[in-house]
Chains A and B, each alone.
Chain A
Amino acid sequence: MEVSRHWRLRQQRYSLVGEMCPHCQVKIFPPRDVCPDCGQEARTAYAFSGRGEVYSFTTVHTPPAGYEETAPYTVALVRLAEGPMVTAQLTDLGDQSVEIGMPVEMVTRRLRSDGERGMLVYGYKFRPLLAA
Chain B
Amino acid sequence: MTAGAISDPDQAVVVAGVGITPVGEHWDVSLRQLALRATERAQQDAGGLQPQALYVGNMYAPALSGQTHLGVLIADFIGQRGIEALSFEAAGASGGVAFRQGYLALLSGQVDCVLVVGVEKVTDRTGPLVDAAIAMSVDADFEAVQGMTPAAQAALLMRRYLLESGAPEAALAPFSLQAHQNAVTNPNAFYRRAITLTDYLQAGPVAPPVGLLDAAPMADGAAALVLTRAGLLPRTADRPSVVVAGSAVATAPVALHDQPDPLAMPAGSLSFQRALAQAGATPDDLDLFELHDLFSIQAALSLEAAGLAPRGQAWHLAGEGAFGRGGSLPIVTFGGSKARGDAGGATGVYQLAELTLQLQGRAGENQVPGARVGAAQCIGGAGATAATHVLSRMES
**Residues of A with Cβ closer than 8 Å to B?**
5, 9, 12, 30, 36, 55-68, 70-71, 73, 75-77, 84-89, 100, 111-112, 121, 123, 125
Residue in B closest to A2 when the chains form the complex, CB atoms: B140
B163 cross-chain contacts in A, Cβ below 8 A: 100
**Residues of B with Cβ closer than 8 Å to A?**
128-129, 131-132, 134-135, 139, 141-149, 151-152, 155-157, 159-160, 163, 204-210, 253, 255-258, 262
The CA-CA distance from A55 to B256 in the complex, in Å, is 11
B253 cross-chain contacts in A, Cβ below 8 A: 36
B210 cross-chain contacts in A, Cβ below 8 A: 58
Could you write out 20 A-B pairs with CB less than 8 Å apart?
A9-B141, A36-B258, A55-B160, A56-B160, A58-B152, A58-B159, A59-B207, A60-B149, A61-B205, A62-B131, A62-B151, A62-B207, A64-B134, A66-B128, A66-B132, A70-B147, A85-B256, A85-B257, A100-B159, A112-B145
A76 cross-chain contacts in B, Cβ below 8 A: 156
The CA-CA distance from A85 to B320 in the complex, in Å, is 35
Residue in B closest to A112 when the chains form the complex, CB atoms: B145
How far in angstroms is the closest Cβ of chain A from B172? 15
Count how many pairs of residues, one from A and one from B, have CB atoms less than 8 Å apart in the complex.
Answer: 103
User: By CB atoms of chain B within 10 A, which of A67, A68, A71 has the most?
Assistant: A67
Tell me if B207 and A123 are in contact (CB < 8 A): no
Tell me if A58 and B208 are in contact (CB < 8 A): yes
A57 cross-chain contacts in B, Cβ below 8 A: 156, 159
Tell me if A67 and B147 are in contact (CB < 8 A): yes
Tell me if A84 and B257 are in contact (CB < 8 A): yes
Tell me if A100 and B160 are in contact (CB < 8 A): yes
Q: List the 8 closest A-B pairs by CB distance, nearest first.
A: A58-B155, A64-B132, A85-B257, A65-B128, A64-B131, A65-B132, A56-B156, A56-B160
Do A58 and B134 contact each other (CB < 8 Å), given the known contacts A77-B257, A89-B146? no
A68 cross-chain contacts in B, Cβ below 8 A: 128
B258 cross-chain contacts in A, Cβ below 8 A: 36, 85
Do A62 and B149 contact each other (CB < 8 Å), given the known contacts A9-B141, A87-B256, A100-B159? yes
The CA-CA distance from A86 to B257 in the complex, in Å, is 5
A63 cross-chain contacts in B, Cβ below 8 A: 128, 131, 147, 149
User: By CB atoms of chain A within 10 A, which of B132, B156, B157 has the most?
Assistant: B156
Do A64 and B147 contact each other (CB < 8 Å), given the known contacts A30-B142, A77-B256? yes
Tell me if B157 and A89 are in contact (CB < 8 A): no
How far in angstroms is the closest Cβ of chain B from A5? 8
The CA-CA distance from A30 to B208 in the complex, in Å, is 26
Tell me if B128 and A58 are in contact (CB < 8 A): no
The CA-CA distance from A55 to B204 in the complex, in Å, is 24
Residue in B closest to A62 when the chains form the complex, CB atoms: B131
B209 cross-chain contacts in A, Cβ below 8 A: 58
How far in angstroms is the closest Cβ of chain A from B211? 10
The CA-CA distance from A112 to B205 in the complex, in Å, is 23
Do A87 and B131 contact each other (CB < 8 Å), given the known contacts A58-B210, A111-B146? no
B257 cross-chain contacts in A, Cβ below 8 A: 77, 84-87
